[in-house]
Amino acid sequence: MSSRSNLTNLKTKQSKSRFETIADNLNRIKSSLPPSVQLVAVSKFHPADAVLEAYNAGQRVFGESRVAELLDKAQTLPANIAWHFIGHLQTNKVKQLVGHVALIESVDSQRLLDLIDDISLKKNVITDVLMQVHVAAEDTKFGWSPDELLDFFRSGAYKALHATRIRGLMGMATNTDDISRIDADFALLQALFVEIGTIANDLTEFNILSMGMSDDYPLAINHGASHIRIGSAIFGPRSL
């Protein structure tokens, strides 16, 4: 199937989803995924009840973009949920977050990375992280440029980390209907992921490529996404 027809099918399916429950949406999406692809259910701005409905349908990995909201939900919801932090992480919130999260997907600067490492060391925990890469056309999105990221790995600077495990890359495609642009963004993320894996071949657990959201995840899967982050196609529209 071509990328274009994948995307068209997806949009048709989504337009029906408001008549379906969270569990229906989740099961429909999960049954369409290759077994190697992990689904991160993005529950930001949705109440704990909604998370619990997805949990009861078998989902265990959830994504949140605000520290306070993640910590609130983590406190009231089952302890075997793996929480992924996916939003811009302010340096003054790192201390609160470290130790309460399975994966920080959105490390967008070396300053933030070093701080996560310092605090993880002090708290005696290992923190798993992804490097967020900026490839989209919008300049509102955070992240390393591809060149900055390649320089960081080529320099060997990652070897100085003590309590942080770099597990891979996270990225977002341009927010556009132009499928060829989205496709090019995901292709670039995939190429970077492969190249960094070669440069930093001592990072034995560098194996996560998190890309693809509700409107574009079939294209991301075509380009080797290991994790997709789906919010509105599971939980419906967010009211911000």
Ligand X SMILES: *Cc1c(COP(=O)(O)O)cnc(C)c1O
Pairing of strands 38-42, 127-134: unpaired
Rounded least distance, CB 173 to ligand X, Å: 11
Give yes or no for residue 214 binding ligand X (CB under 6 A).
Answer: yes
CA separation for the pair 190, 150 (Å, rounded): 13
Rounded least distance, CB 230 to ligand X, Å: 5
Q: Which two tokens stand for residue 187?
A: 């292709």
Whether 74 and 55 have beta carbons less than 8 Å apart is answered as: no
Give yes or no for residue 229 binding ligand X (CB under 6 A).
Answer: yes
Q: Select the span of 49-57, 72-80, 187-195, 230-238 touching ligand X (CB under 6 A).
A: 230-238
Q: Which residue of 61, 69, 232, 236 would you call a contact of ligand X, by CB under 6 A?
A: 232
Q: Which residue of 86, 116, 182, 225 would you call a contact of ligand X, by CB under 6 A?
A: 86
Rounded least distance, CB 106 to ligand X, Å: 7
CA 217 to chain centre: 12
Give yes or no for residue 84 binding ligand X (CB under 6 A).
Answer: no
Rounded least distance, CB 170 to ligand X, Å: 7
Residue-wise DSSP of 73-125: HHHHS-TT-EEEE-S---GGGHHHHTTS-SEEEEE-SHHHHHHHHHHHHHHT-
Q: Select the span of 51-59, 69-77, 93-101, 231-239 touching ligand X (CB under 6 A).
A: 231-239
Give yes or no for residue 65 binding ligand X (CB under 6 A).
Answer: yes
The values of phi and psi at residue 42, to 5°, are: -85, 105
Give yes or no for residue 42 binding ligand X (CB under 6 A).
Answer: yes
Query: From the CA atom positions of the chain, what is the Rg in Å?
Result: 17
Q: Angle 118-120-126 (CA atoms, 0-180°, nearest 5)?
A: 130
Q: Which residue of 231, 236, 239, 240 would you call a contact of ligand X, by CB under 6 A?
A: 231
Q: Select the span of 72-80, 145-153, 189-197, 213-221 touching ligand X (CB under 6 A).
A: 213-221
The values of phi and psi at residue 102, to 5°, are: -80, -35
Q: Which residue of 29, 166, 189, 230 would you call a contact of ligand X, by CB under 6 A?
A: 230
Contacts of residue 16, Cβ cutoff 8 Å, sequence gap at least 6: none
Which residue's CB is nearer to ligand X, number 145 or number 155? 145
Give yes or no for residue 182 binding ligand X (CB under 6 A).
Answer: no
Size of the site for ligand X (CB under 6 A): 13
CA distance from start to end of the chain: 35
For ligand X, the binding residues (CB under 6 A) are: 42, 44, 65, 86-87, 213-215, 229-233
